[in-house]
A and B are shown apart, each in its own frame.
Chain A
Amino acid sequence: SQTIHQWPATLVQPVGSPLSLECTVEGTSNPNLYWYRQAAGRGLQLLFYSVGIGQISSEVPQNLSASRPQDRQFILSSKKLLLSDSGFYLCAWSVFETGGSNEQFFGPGTRLTVL
């Protein structure tokens, strides 16, 4: 069966510090991978998605970047965190299918607080 892991679960970082959040998927090959951010009590904002190794699409201009060094690994990074980067970060995967969007499977999330 497929599983998705995210770490760390919680993170408190000072403004200006770097960030690295990792997401890995097991039990599937060539998944689509996604990074979302969720503000408190709000919906999900798509930050990045990837349909293959080294292929990253950015949805909104921001202080963050993403990389996919391996097929089932997706990393969210920042060189210098801002207060506005605080939030709940969710990684998700789906099966690639041409012509449509499949259901997505979410990781447990990382709660990031920037002080």
Chain B
Amino acid sequence: SQQGEEDPQALSIQEGENATMNCSYKTSINNLQWYRQNSGRGLVHLILIRSNEREKHSGRLRVTLDTSKKSSSLLITASRAADTASYFCATGRIQGAQKLVFGQGTRLTINP
């Protein structure tokens, strides 16, 4: 079963608004990653946050990690129509060699 669980499953907002997606997981992790997938395409890595980090920024992206609650959030500020995509969190375990466990994803729609 998938460890990462994204919330909400779908999100629709107006262009210019901020979008927040959440991810929860169950076991101890080495890092947590967020990926983006445009319809019918492969996934693209957005950002990686390690278990000893609490917040990370990359352009309009802000990721937080709370290991005590086993949760993470992805914030996209000043959304654009081009941000429309599915967003997945993936967890890297401390043991278990080189694997990531992906969640079911959040489908984000930005309305112009």
Interfacial chain B residues near A44, Cβ < 8 Å? 43, 88, 102
Q: Which of A51, A90, A94 contacts B43 (CB 8 A)?
A: A90
Contact between chains at A46 and B40 (CB < 8 Å): no
The interface bits of chain B over 60-91 (1 if a CB of A lies within 8 angstroms of the residue's CB, else 0) are: 00000000000000000000000000001010
Q: How many pairs, one residue from A and one from B, have CB atoms within 8 Å of each other in the complex?
A: 66
- B108 CB, min distance to chain A CBs, angstroms: 13
The interface bits of chain A over 71-115 (1 if a CB of B lies within 8 angstroms of the residue's CB, else 0) are: 000000000000000001010101011011111111111010000
In the complex, what distance in Å separates the CA atom of A91 from the CA atom of B98?
A: 15
- A108 — nearest CB in chain B belongs to which residue? B42
In the complex, what distance in Å separates the CA atom of A109 from the CA atom of B105?
A: 17
In the complex, what distance in Å separates the CA atom of A103 from the CA atom of B30?
A: 12
Residue B109 is within 8 A (CB to CB) of chain A in the complex: no
Say whether chain B's binding surface is mostly helix, strand, loop, or mixed: strand
- B52 CB, min distance to chain A CBs, angstroms: 12
In the complex, what distance in Å separates the CA atom of A111 from the CA atom of B39?
A: 12
Q: Which of B40, B88, B98, B103 contacts A101 (CB 8 A)?
A: B98
- B112 CB, min distance to chain A CBs, angstroms: 23
Interfacial chain B residues near A103, Cβ < 8 Å? 33, 45, 48
Contact between chains at B31 and A49 (CB < 8 Å): no
Residue B14 is within 8 A (CB to CB) of chain A in the complex: no
In the complex, what distance in Å separates the CA atom of A90 from the CA atom of B40?
A: 11
- B28 CB, min distance to chain A CBs, angstroms: 12
In the complex, what distance in Å separates the CA atom of A103 from the CA atom of B100?
A: 9
- B40 CB, min distance to chain A CBs, angstroms: 7
CB-CB nearest 9 A-B residue pairs: A101-B92, A106-B42, A43-B104, A44-B102, A103-B45, A106-B43, A100-B30, A43-B102, A32-B98
Could you tell me which B residues sit within 8 Å of A by CB distance? 2, 4, 30-31, 33, 40-45, 48, 88, 90, 92-94, 97-105, 107
Could you tell me which A residues sit within 8 Å of B by CB distance? 32, 36, 41-46, 49, 51, 88, 90, 92, 94, 96-97, 99-109, 111
